[in-house]
Structure 1
Amino acid sequence: MDFKSVFLRFVTLLCLLRPIASQLSIPPLLDGFRYGEAATAGKEEKKVLIEAFFDPVCPDSRDSWPPLKQAVEELASRVRLVVHTFPLPYHDNSFATSKALHIANKIDSTKTFHVLEAFFHHQELFYGKVTFNKSKAAVRVRIVDFTAKALGSSSYRSAVKSGFNNTSIDSENRYAFKYGCIRGVYATPFFFVNGFPLADTGSALDYEGWRSVLDPLISKESRYRQRHAHFL
């Protein structure tokens, strides 16, 4: 049995043993990176919620991002997106690159998705033969330099480097993975819409696929508002 099969069985078992979740420490804030401008709580509640679980060095996560981004930006007034990191153990350097995203979010939250896209565009720098003979420390130096550059300046290098030794950020990265496990995530990309998982998990969903999911929900929500407008 290969490692991937063992991991999938572990996640399945974790989801079945839900009472264990009550023993986990609870983070002070809900996990995830919010895409776009922050909205008021009232407006957010009326939007279709998309949750995406991505691994920065997962090719399928990379391929799924552009069509999702396009759909979310076109329907920005009706949908909202939260992205979670879910570093898969069988992807080289996934945990370290996921931590880099949490560090970038602490340094400048307006550039979090720019850093994510940078990792997506240059995944080949962080797995396979390129890093096979490099030490963990050497790979971290590459990730630190890359993240600082993606943030816009090498002056961020010391902040990114210190972030890798920050226990709070390390905990955030671990919480993100545990949160995915509790939700039943076992592959990337993995999507939830209004709390319900989409069927085609682990593969990229194209733009037409996203519109086929979102448009009916938006139409139903609009009809619901019209029917109940007289109560307002």
Structure 2
Amino acid sequence: MTRKQIALLLVGALAIVAFALGTIGYNRSQSTAQQQLAKQNEDVFSRAHSPTYGAPDAKVRITEFFDPACETCRAFYPAVKQIVDQSQGRVQLVVRFVPFHDGADLAAKILVAAHAQRLFIPVAEVVLGTQDTWASHAAPNPELLWGYLAKSGLDLDKARAAVQTKEVEAVIAMDMADAKTLNVTRTPGFFVNGKPLERFGYEQLVALVQSEVERAYAQ
């Protein structure tokens, strides 16, 4: 290998290292900025209209900004539910709707209507379980959901009427506004007792939840 080739390899390696360090620094600065936003806007985590799962008196609250057409939200759903189920009443999930994807708006409205009928979890599971069909990236068709939900227990006539109301639109609008306030630009966006993940990932979420459980339930 010539000196010129060695020099080019070194330059390339240094460029990769510099890029990686820059990315880490950028992510840290983004996380720090989001932490500051969360502290300055604590009221956004207390919206009475939001669906919840888990003990109402839990001292640890996971707030998830959720898009029903988001594949990552679907992948995380069973894991997040398991965190709550295994918490012995110490963790609660709060869901906020941010329909960023094409076709997600109707699905989000249906979930708001389902929450009003106390059927959020069973309807959410149908919505996520059929996501590959109604939320196709090439041609999303959320109207298909009405057929999938026929056996979910949802009163379809009431739900169809509800999704047309200003009240349901207001729920989505407030959740979107709160997401913007917290600089949530992709889903799922997780906060635990108002604290954002420093790095996105399942293990990071589990670690943050465990840390908050230990803090909140310290003897």
Superposition deviation, residue 187 in structure 1: 0.5
| Distance in 2 between residues matched to 1:183 and 1:101, nearest whole Å | 22
| Distance in 2 between residues matched to 1:81 and 1:129, nearest whole Å | 28
2:56 maps to 1:54: no
Query: Aligned letter for 1:217?
Result: E
Question: Which residue pairs with 1:114 in the alignment?
Answer: 122
SS in 1 for 2:94: strand
2:218 maps to 1:219: no
1:81 to 87, 93, 102: 93
CA contact (8 A) 1:33 1:82 kept: yes
Superposition deviation, residue 222 in structure 1: 3.3
Superposition deviation, residue 164 in structure 1: 2.3
| Distance in 1 between residues matched to 2:134 and 2:217, nearest whole Å | 45
| Distance in 2 between residues matched to 1:178 and 1:58, nearest whole Å | 19
| Distance in 1 between residues matched to 2:151 and 2:138, nearest whole Å | 19
Question: Which residue pairs with 1:135 in the alignment?
Answer: none
Superposition deviation, residue 124 in structure 1: 1.3
| Distance in 1 between residues matched to 2:172 and 2:150, nearest whole Å | 18
2:50 maps to 1:32: yes
Superposition deviation, residue 130 in structure 1: 7.0
Structure 1 pair 30–65 and aligned structure 2 pair: CA distance change class (3 A): same
CA RMSD of aligned residues (A): 2.8
For structure 2, which runs of at least 5 residues remain unmatched after alignment?
A: 1-33, 38-43
Superposition deviation, residue 221 in structure 1: 3.0
TM-score (norm 1): 0.67
Query: Aligned letter for 1:116?
Result: A
**Of the two, which has the highest radius of gyration?**
2
Question: Which residue pairs with 2:171 in the alignment?
Answer: 172
Q: How many residues align?
A: 178
Query: Aligned letter for 2:164?
Result: N
Query: Aligned letter for 1:36?
Result: G
The aligned runs of 1:63-142 (5 Å cut-off) are: 63-88=75-100, 91-106=101-116, 108-109=117-118, 111-128=119-136, 131=139, 139=141, 141-142=143-144
TM-score (norm 2): 0.70
Question: Which residue pairs with 1:144 in the alignment?
Answer: 146
Structure 1 pair 105–143 and aligned structure 2 pair: CA distance change class (3 A): same
| Distance in 1 between residues matched to 2:137 and 2:192, nearest whole Å | 37
Deviates more, 1:175-184 or 1:66-75: 175-184
SS in 1 for 2:54: coil
Question: Which residue pairs with 1:196 in the alignment?
Answer: 195
For structure 1, which runs of at least 5 residues remain unmatched after alignment?
A: 1-14, 19-25, 133-138, 227-232
Counting aligned pairs with the same residue, the percent is: 25
Cα deviation 1:80-118 (Å, max 9, x = unaligned): 211111111xx2201111111011112x21x20111121
Structure 1 pair 99–71 and aligned structure 2 pair: CA distance change class (3 A): same
SS in 2 for 1:215: helix
